A and B are shown apart, each in its own frame.
Chain A
C-alpha cells in the first residue's frame, strides 16, 4: 500500500513535470504561430505610429520644434475642425443607432431564412463602391435632384430644400455608409440572446415592453456598444463622403490633413493633426471604458 502510494506520488510528480514542460512547449508553439501576426502588427502599426509621433515634432526647416502643435492652438480653425469632426461622428453614430437598432431587432425576431434575406439587403450596399454610393447621393439630393423634384411635384415643399453641400448631406451619406457596421454586431448580439429569458419574464408577469427594456435591451447592449464605437471611430477619420457631400463647408480633420500636406509640403504639419486625433480618440475610448466594459464587446454575444 505504502509502496504504491510512493509510486503514485512519484508518478504524479513526474506527470506534473511533464505537464509543465508540455505547457511551456505549447506556449512557445502558440507564440511561434502568432508571431507572424505580432510581427505584422509591429511593422504596420507600431512602427508607423511611432514614426508619426516623431515626424509631428519636426518643423518646416527639418529641426525639432513644436510649431506644428503651436499652430493648432493659435489658429482658431483647428479647434473648430476638431469640434466639427466629433460633432459629425456623434450625430452619425446617434442616427445609426436610431435607425439600426430597431432594424436589427426586427431582423432578430424573424425566422432565420427571412432574417438572412434581410441581412443580404443590409450587406448589398456594403459591397458597392463607397465613391459610387456617395456620388449617387449627390445626384439624388442636389437642387435639381430626384428628391427635390419629386417633393416639389408632389407639392410637399415649394422651394428646393438644401439637402446636400452642407451638414444634412454629410450626415445622410455617412449614416448610409456606416449603418451596416452598426447593424451587424447588434444583430449578432441579439441572435445570441436566449429567447427563454423573455419567456421567463412573460411568465413572471412582465408586459412585452417591460420584458424588452429590463431583459432584452440590457443583454443587447454589448453588441450595441461594439457597433456604436466602431461607427464612431470610423467616422473620426472619414474623408470621401464629407469631402463630396459637405460642399466644402463641413471640414473634418482628415480633410485638413490633406490640405496641410498640399500647403505646407511638410509631413510634420499633417502628422501633428493625426497625433492629436489619435490622442483624442484614445481619450474617448478611455471615457467609454469608464461606463462600458470594453472587453465585453470583443466577447461578441450577450453572455
Chain B
C-alpha cells in the first residue's frame, strides 16, 4: 500500500516535472539601468541560446524572498542580491545551495562566489571629487578625503554602515590588509566612528542611495563623496564635473541566488552556468560600468583596454582595492549598524 502510494506520488511528481518542461524561469532584479544592462548582456542572449523562457521581474530585495519563503509561495527562481544581504539570507536559510557541478566558476576572480550566491558583476565603493573644485588630480587616498586643510570643501558620506567604516580606518592609517582585523572588536568600530566624527562638521549629507550621491556630485551640492563607481561614471557622462579613483576603494559584488523552494531549481542552475560564461559577461560593461566576475571575460577581446581601465574588476584596478569581507559583515554588521546609528543621531 505504502509502495503504491509513493509510486503514485512519484508518478505525480514526474507528471508535474513533465509539465514544467516548457522550461521557463522567473528572475528578479532591481530594475532601472542596472536591470536593463543585465537584461541586454546576460538574460536575453542566454535565454535565446538555451531555449529557456525567461520572465523578468523587479523586486525590493531579500525581504521579498523572506516573505515568499516564509509563506511557502515561492515564485522566483533566481534573484539578484548584494553580496552581504545574500550572506545574511543564506545564514537565515532562505537560499538554496548552488550546484557548482553545474555552474562552472573555475575561471572566476577568487572570492566572487559563495556556497549560496554566484557573483554577477563587480562594483566599487570609491571616493569621488568635483573636478571644478579640485581639478583632475583630486584626493588620492582616504587620508586625502579626510584632509580638509589640503582639500577644503563639503563632503557626503554613507548614511548606513556598509562600506562606511573601512575608509575611516584607512584614513586613520590602518593598512588595507589589517582593516577587518581592527574592525573585529567594538573598540575597533568605535575607532572608525571617532574618525568619522572628526570629519562630521564637513559632511553636509549622509546619502542613502546611489541615485542620491550621483545627483549630489553632478549638481555640485558637495565637493567630495563616497559612492559606487558606476553611478559616478553615469554622473560624469551626464555632464557632471566628477572624477573618482580606485585607490583604496572597496571591492564588492552583486550575485545571483536561488530562493529556498524555487519552482525550477535545476533549470536555474543551468541558466546561472550560462550567464556566468565569459561570452555574456564581457558585454555587461557596454551598458553599465560594472565589471565581470569571470576573469576570462577580459580576454575575449570585447572589453578594450580603455574600458577595462574604468572597470572595478580589471586586474590593475582590483589590485588597488580592499575586497569586502563577507564574514565580517555576517558577524558584525548589526552591532556596527547600531553603533553607526548612535553616531549619526548625536
Contacts and interface: CB of A to CB of B under 8 A. Distances in A.
Given A75-B342, A144-B220, A251-B344, A264 B334 contact: yes
Contact of A259 (B66, B160, B205, B333): B160
B92 interface: yes
Interface string B307-340: 0000000000000000000000000011001100
B62 A248 contact: no
B204 A165 contact: yes
B338 A162 contact: no
Interface in A249-285: 249, 251, 256, 259, 261-265
Interface in A67-104: 71, 75-77, 80-81, 84
Nearest to B61: A262
A263 B333 contact: yes
Contacts, number: 62
A143 B204 CA distance: 11
B342 A76 contact: yes
A81 B344 CA distance: 10
Interface string B3-22: 00000000000000000000
A75 B66 contact: no
Contact of B205 (A75, A248, A265): A248
B205 A77 contact: no
A122 interface: no
B208 interface: yes
Nearest to B157: A248
A263 B204 contact: no
Contacts of B219: 142-144
Contacts of B221: 142-144, 165
A76 B346 CA distance: 9
A76 B342 CA distance: 6
Of the four ranges (under 10, 10 to 19, 20 to 34, 35 or more), the interface on chain B belongs to 20 to 34
Nearest to B346: A80
A265 B344 CA distance: 21
Contacts of A265: 62-63, 66, 88-89, 92
Contacts of A248: 159, 205-208, 344
Interface in B130-169: 154, 159-160
Contacts of B160: 259
Contacts of B337: 259, 263
Interface of A: 71, 75-77, 80-81, 84, 142-144, 162, 165-166, 243, 247-249, 251, 256, 259, 261-265
30 contacts: A71-B338, A76-B345, A77-B338, A77-B342, A77-B344, A80-B345, A84-B345, A142-B221, A143-B154, A143-B220, A143-B221, A165-B204, A165-B221, A243-B208, A247-B204, A248-B207, A248-B208, A248-B344, A249-B344, A251-B341, A251-B344, A259-B341, A261-B63, A262-B61, A262-B63, A263-B333, A263-B337, A265-B63, A265-B89, A265-B92
